Amino acid sequence: MNRIIKITLFAGIIFTLFFLSGCSSEKKGDQVKQVKLNYSTNALEPYISSRTVDLHYSIHYKKYVEKSNQLIEKFGFTGKPVADILRKIKGNEKYSSLFNNLGQALNHDIYFNSLVPEAKPPAGEMLEMINRSFGSYDAFKKEFILKGNSHFASGWVWLVKNNDRLEILTTSNGDNPVTIGLVPVLGIDLWEHSYYLDYENRRSDYMKNVTENLLNWDYAASVCLK
Ligand code: MN
């Protein structure tokens, strides 16, 4: 074999190995994916602007997902269910960056599913469960708005399922109710990036508009009643 053929073969093998390793790491990196947005970015107007939805989905949420995939691989959690990872690493300083980013990836998956244009009020079994848990749909709305509005600093307000009842609670930063064994049914983002462009510091107006006009009760029922 002459020298040029040898060099060409060698380069070919190196290129192939490089290409394969690139493919496999890209595949691993896809473990956490952005949930598909089931509406156009302007569909939540006038309550949440197209610009807010676009920045929130395409920049903030995307970054949490990308970072999660990098850190899942770095810490060797590839293939493990997201809720299991979060429960396992909660409170461990070594994994705080993964906990925050992966929590936020899951939270935003739930958030973008929790909103829907032209929302209809809850009905049937879903409404019965709300009535049983809070007394009435109006009482639910009042408590949900109040708790979201009064949560200090960044975080989330959740409707969760605890056995056969619904409860409202808030979490800070990127935490998610799955870490304490509860099922998140609806989740609303309280970070300023989710409302500041539209409402400035008026979180109560954002909470009121979202609660009264955008909550996706079909999604809630699909989580709750299965
Ligand atoms: Mn957010």
Q: What is the pLDDT of residues 129-167, one digit of tens each?
A: 999 999 999 999 999 999 999 999 999 999 999 999 999
109 C-alpha to center of ligand 1: Å?
10
Structure tokens at 150: 């009064």
In the DSSP assignment, the letter for residue 163 is T
105 C-alpha to center of ligand 1: Å?
9
28 C-alpha to center of ligand 1: Å?
24
54 C-alpha to center of ligand 1: Å?
11
SS3 139: helix
Query: What are the structural domains, with CATH classification, of the chain?
Result: 124-224 (3.55.40.20)
152 C-alpha to center of ligand 1: Å?
16
Q: Contacts by 131-138 with C-beta closer than 8 Å and gap 24+?
A: 132/165, 133/165, 133/166, 133/167, 134/166
145 C-alpha to center of ligand 1: Å?
18
Q: Contacts by 118-127 with C-beta closer than 8 Å and gap 24+?
A: 119/213, 119/214, 119/215, 119/216, 119/217, 120/217, 120/218, 121/217, 122/217, 122/220, 122/221, 123/217, 124/221, 125/221, 125/225, 126/217, 126/220, 126/221, 126/224, 126/225
**Residues at Cβ < 5 Å from ligand 1 ion:** 60, 189, 191, 194
68 C-alpha to center of ligand 1: Å?
15
129 C-alpha to center of ligand 1: Å?
28
Cα–Cα dist 53/17, whole Å? 40
16 C-alpha to center of ligand 1: Å?
40
103 C-alpha to center of ligand 1: Å?
11
112 C-alpha to center of ligand 1: Å?
10
Q: 27-36 burial string, b = 16+ CB within 10 Å, else e?
A: eebebbebbe
pLDDT value of residue 63: 98
212 C-alpha to center of ligand 1: Å?
20
SS3 88: helix
CB atoms under 10 Å from CB of 119, counted, come to: 19
Q: Which stretches in the chain have pLDDT values below 70?
A: 1-29
76 C-alpha to center of ligand 1: Å?
26
111 C-alpha to center of ligand 1: Å?
8
